[in-house]
Structure 1
Amino acid sequence: MTSTTNVPTIDDLADALDTLRARTPLVHSLTNIVSANFLTNVLLAAGASNAHIDNVHEAGGFARIAGGVLINLGTPDDGTAAAFIAAAEAAHDAGTPWVLDPVGVGGLPWRTGLAADLLAYRPTAVRGNASEIIALAGRGGDTRGVDSADEAAAAIPAALALLEYSDAVSASGPVDYLVGRGRDGAVTGVRIAGGSAMLPRVTSTGCSLGGLVAAYLAVAPTALIGLAAAHTHVAVAAEIAEQNSTGPGSFAVAYLDALYAVDVDALRHRARIEAFELPKKDEN
């Protein structure tokens, strides 16, 4: 049974958006070389800001003072891996909310082990595609590079298993599936529809979602509300951008404009968020 009383409401999402814009949280991103620029632009357009600091000498110190931290495993090496651990440990110790985006986990053994090590520092939220979430939970998963070969709904049992380490977990797809603890601690399942088929045709849209999750976690009352607010902001903006574009290039520009333009009225008219029934324990 899912706890419907804990499903984030439109009012919760609207409050999170207003607070994001009022506070302009600073995200500390340790992300891949492909996504750093686009992720920064996404955060600025949405109403937050970004500092990309991924060296081991500064990562821990900055994670302590940032509003939220993103650790993205897109292009790790020995140096950035050490910085990931330093940032995760510091964020955990300081109470800074942080997001683990396990890019490519499952298909590449070294980064899969690194992701498992990072779970020990209890990310506030985990965000990935279905195959990454399944693999991170140790349940297989079929990745094609950084792309998912699994449907998002198939990752629900794995996402529930990852709540042992995190407060909220999401699997992205044409429909996004989120699980997490509500205000009373009960586990809730949330489904968010919308978005655009153009999103996977523009690089770094998924990685930048991880950054937006970190921004919302800095201002939201619960991890589940923060995760849902980020996914909904992206889904609504992508729908608007698709209406104002003709291909991937124009979509990328229109998407940044739409992230900036999304307001409370847009959320109330376009957000498609609902509870879904969680599988029973013996089905996980």
Structure 2
Amino acid sequence: MTDHAVQSLRPGPLLAAMRQKNPLVQNITNFVAMNIAANVMLAAGASPAMVHSPEEAGEFATIAAALTVNIGTISPDFLDGMKKAATAAGEAGKPWVLDPVAHFATTYRRAAVAELLALRPTVIRGNASEIIALAGEQAAGQGVDSGDSVASAEAAARTLAIRHGCVVAVTGERDFVTDGDRAVHVFGGSPLMPKVTALGCSLTCIVGAYVGTVPGKPLEATVAALALFAAAGELAGRETKAPGSFAVRFLDLLAEVTPDAVDAVARVVSA
């Protein structure tokens, strides 16, 4: 990617656009994350709806600006809702984001994520081990925790992006985003972020808010979502060194941070 192309990925203006649109996002996420993710989205400026029942998930996906799917606490009922929502989103031309949490851990999860991948997500967001395994390579993950570095997952992310015609985001000590052609690193955040449960799941929901705001620009939207988290995380980490107070300050900063501050604090660099 050229330096000019990187400059065109300034995340601040997209934060302003997302807050102005206040997109309605359907989030089929896990039990641990529902409350946290909803609060994160409200603070950032989006409108969350935790609609997962198969009786209404498909219909609701046609109303929402975007859909996010997280398999963290998957069950047959949840999976049915996920598939109906993703199918309906695709038919309605709505973007959707897949978070393949620990998909490699069990046979059931592997089969579920294969079904969801066939429904063509707009964006896949995961940790390094999840992305490496999703590309069919050997990963070192254990449960929901990554045992691999983001750098080691970059080739796998490019492979996935090309194979599935989507944007792939690998998040961790630094973030990597690619559509198989362009690629970007996002720097920022805090070492305290992995100490607060469900922030990664919440980030997937924020990616949904951004792709719902600019559905024709999924790479730019994903980079902007990651930059918002990177900026808020870094600023919160400057103020506190304990995970409990960090969680509160991070949530506050998602609401307080300005588009200019996001551009100043988060570093977006071509990869």
Matching of residue 194 in structure 1 with residue 192 in structure 2: no
Deviation at 1:167, TM superposition (A): 2.3
> Which aligned pairs between 1:70-81 and structure 2 lie closer than 5 A?
70-81=68-79
Cα pair 2:27 2:50 within 8 Å, conserved: yes
Decide which of 126, 129, 135 is 1:128's aligned counterpart. Answer: 126
Deviation at 1:244, TM superposition (A): 2.2
SS in 1 for 2:98: strand
Name the CA distance, whole Å, in 2 between partners of 1:23 and 1:206: 23
TM-score (norm 1): 0.91
Cα pair 2:9 2:220 within 8 Å, conserved: no
Deviation at 1:206, TM superposition (A): 0.2
AA partner of residue 106 (structure 1): F
Name the CA distance, whole Å, in 2 between partners of 1:3 and 1:122: 28
Cα pair 2:9 2:223 within 8 Å, conserved: no
AA partner of residue 169 (structure 1): V
- Range with greater deviation from structure 2 (156-165 or 254-263): 156-165
AA partner of residue 39 (structure 2): N
Cα pair 1:20 1:219 within 8 Å, conserved: yes
Q: Which residue of 1 aligns with 2:254?
A: 259
AA partner of residue 23 (structure 2): P
Name the CA distance, whole Å, in 2 between partners of 1:15 and 1:148: 32
Matching of residue 212 in structure 1 with residue 211 in structure 2: no
Deviation at 1:142, TM superposition (A): 2.0
SS in 2 for 1:65: coil
Identify if the C-alpha distance between structure 1 residues 178 and 10 changes in structure 2 by more than 3 Å, giving closer, same or farther: closer
Q: Which residue of 1 aligns with 2:14?
A: 16
Residue by residue over 1:174-204, the C-alpha shift from the partner in whole angstroms, topping out at 9 and shown as x without a partner, is 11111126xxxxx111011110000000000
Name the CA distance, whole Å, in 1 between partners of 2:168 and 2:9: 20
Name the CA distance, whole Å, in 1 between partners of 2:239 and 2:245: 8
AA partner of residue 197 (structure 1): P
Structure 1 runs not aligned, ≥5 long = 182-186, 277-284
Q: Which residue of 1 aligns with 2:27?
A: 29
Cα pair 1:107 1:142 within 8 Å, conserved: no
Matching of residue 250 in structure 1 with residue 239 in structure 2: no
Name the CA distance, whole Å, in 2 between partners of 1:61 and 1:47: 24
Name the CA distance, whole Å, in 2 between partners of 1:8 and 1:58: 41
Q: How many residues align?
A: 269
Name the CA distance, whole Å, in 2 between partners of 1:40 and 1:8: 31
RMSD: 1.4
Residue by residue over 1:235-261, the C-alpha shift from the partner in whole angstroms, topping out at 9 and shown as x without a partner, is 000011112223111011000001111
Deviation at 1:268, TM superposition (A): 2.5
> Which aligned pairs between 1:1-284 and structure 2 lie closer than 5 A?
2=1, 5-7=4-6, 9=8, 11=10, 13-163=11-161, 164-180=163-179, 187-220=181-214, 221-276=216-271
Residue by residue over 1:49-98, the C-alpha shift from the partner in whole angstroms, topping out at 9 and shown as x without a partner, is 10001110011001111011110010001110111111111111111110
Name the CA distance, whole Å, in 1 between partners of 2:135 and 2:6: 24
Residue by residue over 1:97-144, the C-alpha shift from the partner in whole angstroms, topping out at 9 and shown as x without a partner, is 100000011122211221111111111100000000111111122221
Name the CA distance, whole Å, in 2 between partners of 1:8 and 1:59: 38
Name the CA distance, whole Å, in 2 between partners of 1:166 and 1:210: 18
Identify if the C-alpha distance between structure 1 residues 262 and 172 changes in structure 2 by more than 3 Å, giving closer, same or farther: same
Deviation at 1:32, TM superposition (A): 0.2
Name the CA distance, whole Å, in 2 between partners of 1:171 and 1:103: 12
AA partner of residue 128 (structure 1): G
Percent identity, aligned pairs only? 41
